[in-house]
Chain A
């Protein structure tokens, strides 16, 4: 999946993945896609809830070698 920007949040603990995602999304235009890499186990629940509440769309997520990857489209 193509992303306009990639955010490396690997190794960061709560609440940093969500704080960094918010900052990265702010720099994007509506409709652009942000790819987030995280290793925090709570990131899946956190980013899913955050995307829903903040009006952005979680397009897809997958896990690869213990790295959680997310694609979020800015609303």
Chain B
């Protein structure tokens, strides 16, 4: 139909559940538009890619602290507003269920199913002490140049 697919690139910087939801809804929509979609996860956005089970990995003290303090996986992320020390996410998940919308982990799974390219920024992984073993299977690892390579001929570019 079209000679070259359009591209959507999203930078997910935020580690907030609601913002990550917005990013993944746009990504899934763009994939349905037959775009080639990339989500580049950096800083707190990396937590969306963490597996939810605890892993014992060889880490220094600071890295261990970071690993403990950050949400382990998409389901454990907090809200950007009205978090209420964890009550907010519980409430929003009830509302999501009520309206038959998709939770963040479901949106991530759907994105992978639709072949959205999920990239983890390796530099910020080092800063936050995250290792590849802790992140979901089937994702890519790259830096700023790979992102720019995708973004420079992108049709939709977002920073969330």
Q: Tell me the A residues contacting B by CB distance below 8 Å.
A: 11-16, 18-19, 21-22, 50, 53-55, 75
Q: Is B1 an interface residue (CB 8 A)?
A: yes
**Which of chain A's residues have a CB closer than 8 A to the CB of B140?**
none
* Count class of interface residues, chain B: 10 to 19
- Please state if B101 and A22 are interface contacts (CB–CB under 8 Å): no
- Please state if A19 and B33 are interface contacts (CB–CB under 8 Å): no
- Please state if A50 and B33 are interface contacts (CB–CB under 8 Å): yes
Q: Is B2 an interface residue (CB 8 A)?
A: yes
- Please state if A14 and B33 are interface contacts (CB–CB under 8 Å): no
- Kindly list 9 other residue pairs between chains A and B, CB separation below 8 angstroms, not including A12-B100, A14-B101, A15-B25: A13-B100, A14-B25, A15-B28, A16-B102, A18-B32, A19-B29, A50-B32, A50-B33, A53-B33
Q: Which 3 A-B pairs have the closest CB atoms?
A: A13-B101, A22-B32, A15-B29
